[in-house]
A = this chain, B = another copy of it.
Amino acid sequence: MKKTYSIKEVATYFNLPISTIRYYDKKGLLPFVSKNTSGYRIFSKSDFGFIKTICCLKNTDMPIKDIKTYIDLCMRGISTIDQRKKMLNQHKENVLKKQRILERNLFEIETKINRYSSDDSVEIIKKQIDFVQDEKEQLHLKNPFILGRKAFFWTNNLKRSLI
């Protein structure tokens, strides 16, 4: 009835390497975990709740140090509710910011993918390359493309003859 869990069971449950759990413990993230007389970690069911919270914060990129701070607040009982709330609200803002950054940049990536997928992707890219090469030439800067102008046109002609 009164079941406890080994580090391996916890690792399996949370799909984490055992070494990571030991590392978290060393960093002070698991002050709630008991040890038996031989020094083995003994996890109880309620520890899973704490660890789930740790994973949640980790999944949203909270640094280990801040997670420790949060867990330490939790261990101090009801008197820290306000501080915990403040921490989570700040963290929520960080996550929202990250979401906006991902959203914006994902849109750019999709734009590129569409360009690469379009029927005239080759013509589009050729024009881009031409533009860069023209500019670099005017400024007397080296042509950054592996195939220089000549080779590029040669590829161009080859492509035509292949059609």
Determine the distance from Cα of A109 to Cα of B96 in the docked complex, in whole angstroms: 12
Q: State how many angstroms separate the Cβ of A62 from the closest Cβ of chain B.
A: 9
- The answer on a CB contact under 8 Å between B2 and A102 is no
How many identical chains are in the complex?
Answer: 2
Q: From residue 93 to 135 of chain A, which have CB atoms closer than 8 A to chain B?
A: 95-96, 98-99, 101-106, 108-110, 112-113, 116-117, 121-122, 125-126, 129, 131-132, 135
Interface residues of A (CB under 8 A from B): 2, 4, 31-34, 42, 44-46, 53, 56-57, 59-60, 75-79, 81-82, 84-85, 88-89, 91-92, 95-96, 98-99, 101-106, 108-110, 112-113, 116-117, 121-122, 125-126, 129, 131-132, 135-136, 138-139, 141-142, 144-147, 152, 155
